[in-house]
Structure 1
Amino acid sequence: MKYLRGILSGCIVWLCVSSSFYLLGNIALLKNHFWIQALIVMVLIIFYAIAAAKFYYQKKHNINGFSLGILMSGTALFLDVLITVPFVEIPEGRSYESFFTSPILWALAFINTFSVYLYWKRKIKP
């Protein structure tokens, strides 16, 4: 497996999800509606995960989609530890604990991993 390309794919997903939350948070109608923002991002992450998986498999790597999904989600979570929580969450008065105990975060990680797995199963494995 090409770990660097998998990590880069995870960075792509993290960047897209973070940007989506930022943009949605700046729309007046959605500014104070986190659950609506989260539902929109839960749909968008499917497309982000598929795009990142296409990027990874573009070089004809043949890793199991579940393993790639875990690597991508792990990379995104690591970037959350390094960037999102200290620079976004803590200044807003939240903590590492509140961020990492959020069911939204784990739903997004699951959807990302599952989307990559399904992409692999439908497009790469046959």
Structure 2
Amino acid sequence: MKHVRAIGIGIFIWIIGVSLYTFSFYIPILENPELQANIFLSIGVVPLVWFGSKLYYRKNNTTKGYWLGLVFFLIAAVLDALVTVPLFIEPYGGSYYSFFTAIGFWLIGMEFVITVTCYWYVEVYGKKETVNS
């Protein structure tokens, strides 16, 4: 695994994800802005992580998608702990505990891992099997 590359792409994914989440508060569609922001993020994570996977595997890396998905999610979780919670959650009465025990956080984490794993099976593993046949 190319660690620096994976971390850099993970940071990129996190920045765009936080931007999507924050931007969604400026478009009033639902009465509950928190729910709306989580829906925006959940929908936006899939193409964003797919694109990040494409960037990572562009250099013919063969790291299994599951591991890369875990790295992307770990990077997002660390940045959430260092930036998101202190700047966006705690000032509004939230806490680290409420943020990291929310089901939405873990569902989005599963989206990270599943999306990268699917990308790996479709674009990396599938192509490798086709070439070897």
Q: Given the alignment of the two structures, is residue 14 of structure 1 paired with residue 14 of structure 2, yes or no? A: yes
Q: The residue matched to 1:125 in structure 2 has which SS?
A: helix
Q: Which residue of 1 aligns with 2:129?
A: none
SS at match of 2:28: coil
Q: How far, CA to CA, are the matches of 1:112 and 1:34 in structure 2?
A: 20
Residues 30, 37 of structure 1: 8 Å contact kept: no
- CA–CA separation in structure 2 for the residues paired with 1:80 and 1:31: 25
Cα separation, 1, equivalents of 2:98 and 2:84: 13
Question: Which string of whole-angstrom CA distances, capped at 9 and with x for unpartnered residues, describes residues 12-63 of structure 1?
Answer: 2211211111000122334733223322321211001101001111111110
Match of 1:115 in 2: 115
User: Which runs of 5 or more residues in structure 1 are unaligned?
Assistant: none
Larger radius of gyration: 2
* TM superposition outliers: structure 1 runs of 4+ over 4 Å: none
- TM-score, normalised to structure 2's length? 0.89
Please tell me the residue identity of whatever aligns with 1:50. Answer: W
Note the aligned Cα RMSD (angstroms): 1.3
- Could you tell me how far apart the structure 2 residues matched to 1:81 and 1:5 are? 21
- What fraction of aligned residue pairs are identical, expressed as a percent? 29
The alignment of Structure 1 onto Structure 2 pairs a total of residues equal to 126
**Please, what TM-score do these two structures have when normalized by structure 1?**
0.93
Evaluate the alpha carbon distance shift between residue 75 and residue 32 of structure 1 in structure 2; reply closer, same or farther with a 3 A threshold: same
